[in-house]
Chains A and B, each alone.
Chain A
């Protein structure tokens, strides 16, 4: 009885776990600061690091993190990186810190993070830990006066597809998956211990305007926009290339179909003749024939990612120009006065 109870409890626990989706990523203030420090110091080089923490129900708590050394394109060093990671984990465990991996963080430059590599890394992580997130920090955007921190995960349906490595148009339609459905952004909640919060309130000056707030009033948005447009242009090129690939495929396909039709027609005529002559008709399919070999359809993944990037840049441009307008109006009003 107790046995069955225990089993059912386990079952319940299991089902519950599956049922609750990840809703919030709760990050310790310290971790945020550490990430910002790491990313900013190395900017514009891109850096990564490990996130450690706990998985509690629908909340993923990130309680600690450590940076990875900058990786070089070398296999040996890559192996070193893995060793470093393991050593680090061991050391942390020895000092009794949370050492449960919950994901990784990385810095980015103007939001160009949606790459195949990211997806691959994510899939790697996903294999080992059920819940994992990727925190993206963009130091250049933070210069604009916003905290550009984002927690991302891949959507489940996308992961399914990715496992089968099947990004043909048909499958995508079947799953009703479009480019927006690849990544899911999870809201981030920064939590501090009560002591820290209290200390912060203590520290808070009476005047709310501080040095860093002047950044918000900077009027020049030109360079930022220009860079964004540059990236957009790059994306357009990529997209065109993707499209060309697809067109090429389509052209081949049409040609092949025409060939198939011609062949089939010929075969039918032949069969008719054979029938007239009282012979057995030949089969209407010939798998050995090279014209019946299906042409592999190009993957749509890349174009999806490019589209994501484009959307990202567009959002940024939108946001920045919106803010700029506000500032400009403000300036105008000031001048008028």
Chain B
């Protein structure tokens, strides 16, 4: 018998279906019972009897076992009579054990009918006992306990045999005899029943045992009901009799059953789908279709799982039909605000005036989109399934496009903007290549789809036949940017705050993707998204982080190292990149997450194809940090802690320096650290070679040019580092020498060195006739260094004083992100005039004197705080000159505080 090998049942529906059919035909009810039983047995209770089949036992043993079983059943009956649950429970355990033996002895997979009968009896008795509350109260405690545990056990147990039990219930007297009748019915029911089974199976996986078990108990009833329904449906088959009323009545009936215990979700979809075919007026069809769609959404109950994919596809098809209807019959209006008249849908298609139907297209589209997203989240990205699933995306885009078109036509621009956002979110992360690939896919899929459509339309023709009015193929403009522009401008015009913000972020992301750094940056700065991203929802914050990451990558690609670093450093400051980008759950040692949080986080994850490559991101971040930090460290060799550009980088460097032996670099960090070591010595060639050997570069589109840029940057920084480190050893050095050492052009070297002199980083001067740099010896006395230190401390103190005042009058501090953004924004002005100053350096030089100007502007902060700050400032004698430049940077905050933003005072 093939049944033995059905252990994998439940996954591949079609195959099994056919097998099942075979079974029914050949073996009759007997066999059907057998197979069904075995299937569940194997599904649930592992494959215990697989191996047992080999045993050979004498015939008499079988009889013996049966006798034992009968005896136990008698015992159970007795126990029932005296309402003794304790002994009943014992007998139940006993009978289960015996069953195992019997099965082994009989070598069959068939569960004896005796056992099933006992189960049925037990279940009835249990239900009876449960319903009798009075008696339950009177029970002794041990008895009541036994009753409860019995209830649980029985539920679990019966689930395995539910089919058999149901059959037994239907034909309690003789199940053997019913086979002929069953067969015909079975064929019809098969499909729905089968789907039910799938649902059952998947539900069981979701460990919602309690609830499911209840369902199981009701199964018998429900199935009868469903059969009755079928009969009613059969009535409909007589086309002449069908009126609007009958359909409506039936529709109400089905809808009323929704969400009730024991209503098969698939079944409901089936019934409603059937009803759509017999609907009398387009409006009615529409109404029923809406219900079909929501019923399809209901198919998957939990929040965690996703909708089955075939259901999802059907759902999309249904939505398209909805749109067909809406396009064809202009007088139908869909609305979810007003409760329409009971008989609104009765109005025929040529009704003069609007017919209002309750429904919300946008919500449906959003839900479909969300389900698509969820399915991608939960499918393993390395399987073919994932790719297949991704191919469904055009379906979604066409639906969104159609809905948007429709909404625009009826003038609901606000809703259209929402749908447009969904479309934007489908394409914003796609670089042009991927976009082109998708367009190609759409062309290919288009042909296949038509065929599928034909297949669908088989079967009884519906009353209201709607031609496919809306396009089934999405139209994509040549360029993804064009598409983004169209959609985004619509959103900016009509969308609400959140939609606009999200669209803006997508827009920024997309610009950054296309290497348009300045556009993306301007968008970011002008929109002031950074100011209030803290108040946005988590998903938008994730999007913001993604946009920032992409912006950083973009800045790097176009060669703006400092900008790239300032975009990325924040992401890496907490070591939670994965979490911030929603690309995986990061475990933190110190903070245990509750399962609730974990689930939430999992639900936020980005699907794999939307990921920003973390290795590339890390490489870019660390390289940027290296380029900024190495010369910085060389410049401040005396007090290394003074100016830290990238804390993360410093930490990594410390760790790598602590190692006794350094092996060849393996991961991104090792590579960058190796490059750093080379760069500190001024060995640019080695540094570049190490970085060049990273794998991640192949992910870049314009790899050559980026590496070229990188090389130039490394050369420059190597030169700077070299000068910082070894300038003390030189009295003078010729330009020629430097040019040769660092393989730079004379002009470049000259400009770099001059820049350093101007910034007072290098105490030297040019000797033009000999083309030499003459270094000046400058050494601070102890008192001077101390004075410098003191100034440093004072500025820190003044800054924190500033914050204290802010806290006092403002009630809140500033967030780290905000600070950096301010920094970013403040520096933006300088960017315009192509200043050679880099952002990071500006930030650090300025931060020290922040706030002096503000204290004065703030009026009367009152109390002793002011006294002290005044005194300190007086002592330092420092603040005056820097005030103006610090006006904006004053909101910087060196500690990473998480305090609510209070904007009242600003």
A positions within 8 Å CB-CB of B: 169, 172-173, 178-179, 222, 225-226, 229-230, 232-233, 236-237, 239-240, 243-244, 246-247, 250-251, 254-255, 258, 307, 310, 314
Q: Are A178 and B864 in contact (CB under 8 A)?
A: yes
B225 at the interface (CB under 8 A from A): no
Q: Which residues of B contact A (CB under 8 A)?
A: 781-783, 786-787, 789-790, 793-794, 796-797, 800-801, 803-804, 807-808, 811-813, 863-864, 867-868, 875, 897, 899-900
B864 to chain A, nearest CB (A): 6
Alpha-carbon distance between A172 and B863 when the two chains are bound, in angstroms? 10
Residues on A with beta carbons closer than 8 Å to the beta carbon of B789 = 229, 233
Q: Judging by beta carbons under 8 Å apart, are B794 and A247 in contact?
A: no
Given contacts A222-B781, A254-B900, 8 further A-B contacts (CB under 8 A): A169-B864, A173-B864, A226-B783, A233-B789, A243-B800, A250-B808, A258-B900, A307-B868
- Which residues of chain B are within 8 angstroms of A222 by Cβ–Cβ distance? 781-783
From known contacts A240-B796, A240-B797, A250-B807, infer whether A229 and B899 are also in contact, taking CB-CB under 8 Å. no
Which 3 residue pairs across A and B have the least CB separation, nearest first?
A: A236-B793, A229-B786, A226-B783
Chain A residues within 8 Å of B796, by CB: 236, 240
Whether B813 lies near A251 (C-beta < 8 A) is yes
Neighbouring A residues of B803 by C-beta, 8 Å = 247
B804 touches A243 (CB 8 A): yes
Residues of A within 8 A of B811 (CB): 254
**What is the bound-complex CA distance between A250 and B897, given in angstroms?**
12
B804, B812, B875: the one contacting A247 at CB < 8 Å is B804
Contacts of A254 in B (CB 8 A): 807, 811-812, 899-900
Cβ of B790 and Cβ of A251 under 8 Å apart? no
Contact A232:B790 (CB < 8 A) given known A247-B803, A258-B900: yes
Chain B residues with Cβ below 8 Å from A310 are: 875
Q: Is the CB of A251 within 8 A of B783?
A: no
Separation of A230 and B782 alpha carbons in the complex (Å): 10
Contact of B867 among A178, A233, A236, A243 (CB under 8 A): A178
Cβ 8 A contact of A237, one of B793, B813, B900: B793
- With contacts A173-B863, A225-B783 taken as known, whether A243 is within 8 angstroms of B807 at the C-beta atoms is no
**A180 CB to nearest B CB, Å:** 10
Q: Shortest distance in angstroms between B763's beta carbon and chain A's nearest beta carbon?
A: 23
Give A307 to B864 CA distance when docked, in angstroms: 12
List the B side residues contacting A172 at CB < 8 Å.
864
Q: How far is the CA of A247 from the CA of B801 in the complex (A)?
A: 10
In the bound complex, residues from chain A placing their C-beta under 8 Å from that of B786 are 226, 229-230, 233
For the complex, what is the distance from the CA of A226 to the CA of B781, rounded to whole Å? 10
Contacts of A314 in B (CB 8 A): 875
Residues of chain A lying within 8 A (CB to CB) of residue B781: 222
User: What are the residues of chain B within 8 A of A251 when measuring CB–CB?
Assistant: 807, 813, 897, 899
Q: Are B797 and A243 in contact (CB under 8 A)?
A: yes
List B contacts of A236 (CB < 8 A). 790, 793-794, 796-797
User: Inside 8 A of A232's CB, which chain B residues have their CB?
Assistant: 790
A169-B807 in contact given A232-B790, A243-B797 (Cβ < 8 Å): no
Chain A residue nearest to B902 (CB atoms) is: A254
Considering the chains assembled together, what is the distance between the CA atoms of A233 and B782 in angstroms?
14
Bound-state CA distance A226–B786 (Å) is: 7
Residues of chain A with a CB closer than 8 A to B863's CB: 169, 173
CB distance from B784 to the nearest CB of A (A): 10
How long is the Cα–Cα vector from A254 to B790 in the complex, in angstroms?
Answer: 32
A169 and B782 alpha carbons, distance in the complex (Å): 39
A255 to B808 CA separation, bound complex (whole angstroms): 14
A172 to B804, CA, bound (A): 17
B367 vs chain A, min Cβ distance (A): 31
Residues of B within 8 A of A255 (CB): 899
Secondary structure of the B side of the interface?
helix
Q: How far is the CB of B849 from chain A (nearest CB, A)?
A: 16
The complex places the Cα of A250 from the Cα of B803 at a distance, in Å, of 11
Q: Across the interface, do A244 and B800 meet the contact criterion of CB distance under 8 Å?
A: yes
A241 to B217: give the CA distance in the assembly, Å. 68
Given contacts A222-B783, A251-B813, contact A229 B790 (CB under 8 A): yes
* Complex Cα gap A229–B807 (Å): 30
Q: How far is the CA of A246 from the CA of B864 in the complex (A)?
A: 14
Q: Can you name 26 A-B residue pairings with CB atoms under 8 Å?
A: A169-B864, A172-B864, A173-B863, A173-B864, A178-B864, A178-B867, A179-B864, A226-B783, A229-B783, A229-B789, A230-B786, A233-B790, A233-B793, A236-B797, A240-B793, A240-B796, A240-B800, A243-B800, A247-B803, A251-B807, A251-B897, A254-B811, A254-B899, A255-B899, A307-B868, A314-B875
A307 to chain B, nearest CB (A): 7
Separation of A310 and B872 alpha carbons in the complex (Å): 10
Output the nearest chain B residue to A229 by Cβ-Cβ distance.
B786
Q: Which B residue sits closest to A224, measured CB to CB? A: B783
Whether A247 lies near B864 (C-beta < 8 A) is no
Complex: how many Å from CA A100 to CA B608?
A: 87
Task: Give the chain A neighbours of B897 by CB distance below 8 A.
Answer: 251
How many whole Å from B430's CB to the nearest CB in chain A?
42
Shortest Cβ distance from residue B20 to the other chain A in the assembled complex, whole angstroms: 55
Q: How far apart are the CA atoms of A243 and B798 in the complex, in Å?
A: 11
What residues of chain A lie closer than 8 Å to B790, measured between beta carbons?
Answer: 229, 232-233, 236
A178 to B866 CA separation, bound complex (whole angstroms): 12
B534 to chain A, nearest CB (A): 14
Q: How far is the CA of A246 from the CA of B897 in the complex (A)?
A: 14
Kindly state the separation between the CA atoms of A122 and B327 in the bound complex, as whole angstroms.
Answer: 93
Residue of A nearest to B808 (CB): A250
Q: In the docked arrangement, what's the CA distance between A250 and B899, Å?
A: 11
Q: For the complex, give the distance between the alpha carbons of A222 and B864 in Å.
A: 33
CB distance from B611 to the nearest CB of A (A): 35
In the bound complex, how far is the Cα of B804 from the Cα of A225, in angstroms? 31
Q: Is the CB of B864 within 8 A of A226?
A: no
The residues of A that contact B794 with a CB separation of less than 8 Å are 236
Please name all residues of chain A whose beta carbon is closer than 8 Å to the beta carbon of B783 when the two chains form the complex. Answer: 222, 225-226, 229
Q: Cβ of B812: which chain A residues have Cβ within 8 Å of it?
A: 254
Q: How far is A244 from B894 in the complex, measured between Cα atoms in Å?
A: 12
Residues of A within 8 A of B807 (CB): 247, 250-251, 254
* Residue of chain A at shortest CB distance from B783: A226
A161 CB, min distance to chain B CBs, angstroms: 14
In the complex the two chains form, what is the Cα distance from A246 to B804 in whole Å? 8
> How distant is the Cα of A4 from the Cα of B867 in the complex, in angstroms?
53
Most buried by B among A236, A244, A255: A236
Give complex CA distance A237, B800 in Å.
12
| A283 CB, nearest partner CB in chain B, Å | 27
When C-beta atoms are compared, the residue in chain B nearest to A227 turns out to be: B786
Residue of B nearest to A221 (CB): B783
In contact, B797 and A239 (Cβ under 8 angstroms): yes
Beta-carbon nearest neighbor of B800 in chain A: A243
Report chain A residues within 8 Å CB of B813. Answer: 251
Alpha-carbon distance A232/B794, docked complex (angstroms): 10
- Given A222-B783, A236-B790, A237-B793: A250 in contact with B867 (beta carbons within 8 A): no
In the complex formed, the residue of A with least CB distance to B813 is: A251
Bound Cα distance from A237 to B899, whole angstroms: 25
Q: What distance in Å separates the Cβ of A149 from its nearest Cβ neighbour in chain B?
A: 26
**Chain B positions within 8 Å of A237 at CB level:** 793
Question: Bound state CA distance, A247 and B895, in angstroms?
Answer: 11
| Minimum Cβ distance to chain B for residue A257 (Å) | 8
Q: What is the CA–CA distance of A209 and B571 in the complex, to the nearest angstrom?
A: 72
CB nearest to A180 among chain B residues: B867
CB closest residue in chain B, given A244: B800
Rounded to whole angstroms, the CA-CA distance of A240 and B793 in the bound complex is: 9
The smallest beta-carbon distance between A170 and chain B, in angstroms, is 10
Cα distance, A88 to B836, chains bound together (Å): 76
Q: How far is the CB of B590 from chain A (nearest CB, A)?
A: 18
Specify the chain A residue showing the minimal Cβ separation from B807.
A250
